[in-house]
Chain A
């Protein structure tokens, strides 16, 4: 099938660039960092010093779910930056260098080209984020309290939706502008705006995709999936499809600056 050919080309490139190796590894490191630093915080404070002699450091050990949420916060900051940076040039760079013309001159549909790229990056990023969450969960369970594995799996599934959404926004921006740096800037600006809007209208518009992260805390603690999360996921899936359609359309019709 044609789609598979384009997709295989993408994933071959991702293997050759070592993306399949280093992106998951970096996310695993990100996931390990917070449980460890939180666990060793008293020792770290002790070693850094600056405290008067005889000061008693008594930090209550935080709840296990909070530590896991710290890791997720890390994915939301550094993780998102990495996701955006690795995929900023995927279409934009190829158009700039002329590779895209070489491909699209053949009878390949624009939507095939867009969705193959989208699928490739979604797979890499979801794998990486899941690996990161698993490693964080493992360390949290080891150093703090056990969190039921089922809760983490559910949370990871919903969190993956948010990650796929980020990839989709990035692919869409890729079809709008030709300069990879601008693509990264636009994507991050869009995501920050979305997060601010989500925070302001948390109650009026509780279906904004960026709120998935805040609902996940509840999933991790209780294991129940709140009703808002279902709606948010539905909206996110809808937005992902819409963005992909827009991306194929702009790639086909717009003479890009």
Chain B
């Protein structure tokens, strides 16, 4: 297990230049979704649940929030 995570870290370090854009874009998505969530008054379902969804579901969480989250 340790070996696997080490090699994963190694792999990540070797390919950081290629993977960085994906991570940055994901971060921007999460941040915009959270900003939008903070600004809206009405959401479909409880707000804290959306915070969890946005934070813990990669890519799909923010998209789901943007499409289904707001109730306007």
Residues of A with Cβ closer than 8 Å to B?
A: 17-19, 21-22, 25-26, 28-29, 32, 36, 40, 43, 47, 82, 85-86, 135, 139, 142-143
Interface residue SS majority, chain A: helix
Given contacts A21-B32, A85-B67, contact A26 B11 (CB under 8 A): no
A29 touches B22 (CB 8 A): yes
Q: Describe B's contact surface by its main secondary structure.
A: helix
Which residues of chain B in 32-65 are interfacial with respect to chain A, using CB atoms and an 8 Å cutoff?
32-33, 35-36, 59, 62-63
Contact between A18 and B28, CB atoms less than 8 A apart? no
- Asked if A32 and B11 make an inter-chain contact with CB atoms under 8 angstroms apart, the answer reads no
Q: Is the CB of B11 within 8 A of A43?
A: yes
Contacts of A143 on B, CB cut-off 8 Å? 18
The contact of B22 among A17, A22, A36, by CB within 8 Å, is: A36
Contact assessment for A29 and B59 in the assembled complex, using a CB-CB cutoff below 8 Å: yes
B side interface size, CB within 8 A: 22
Is the Cβ of A22 less than 8 Å from the Cβ of B11?
no
Q: With A and B bound together, what is the CA distance between A82 and B36 in angstroms?
A: 18
Residues of B within 8 A of A26 (CB): 29, 59, 63
Residues of B participating in the A interface, judged by any CB pair closer than 8 Å? 4, 8, 11, 15, 18-19, 21-22, 25-26, 28-29, 32-33, 35-36, 59, 62-63, 66-67, 70
Cα distance A142–B15 when bound, in Å? 13
Query: Shortest beta-carbon distance, B4 to chain A, in Å?
Result: 8
Q: Is the Cβ of A18 less than 8 Å from the Cβ of B63?
A: no
| Contact partner, A28, options B15, B25, B33, B67, Cβ 8 Å | B25
Identify which of A19, A32, A47, A86 contacts B21 (C-beta below 8 A): A32
Contact B22 A25 (CB under 8 A): no
Residues of B within 8 A of A17 (CB): 36, 66, 70
Q: Give 24 CB contacts A-B under 8 Å.
A: A17-B36, A17-B66, A17-B70, A18-B36, A18-B66, A19-B66, A21-B32, A22-B33, A22-B66, A25-B25, A25-B29, A28-B25, A29-B25, A29-B26, A32-B22, A32-B25, A36-B19, A36-B22, A40-B15, A47-B8, A82-B63, A85-B67, A86-B67, A139-B18
Per the bound structure, the CA–CA distance linking A47 and B4 in Å amounts to: 9
Q: Tell me the complex Cα distance, A143–B18, Å.
A: 9
Shortest distance between the CB of B39 and any CB in chain A (Å): 9
Minimum distance in angstroms from B51 CB to a CB of chain A: 16
Residues of A contacting B33 in the complex (Cβ-Cβ under 8 angstroms): 18, 22
Contacts of A19 in B (CB 8 A): 66
User: Which 4 A-B residue pairings sit nearest by Cβ, starting from the closest?
Assistant: A85-B67, A18-B32, A18-B36, A25-B25
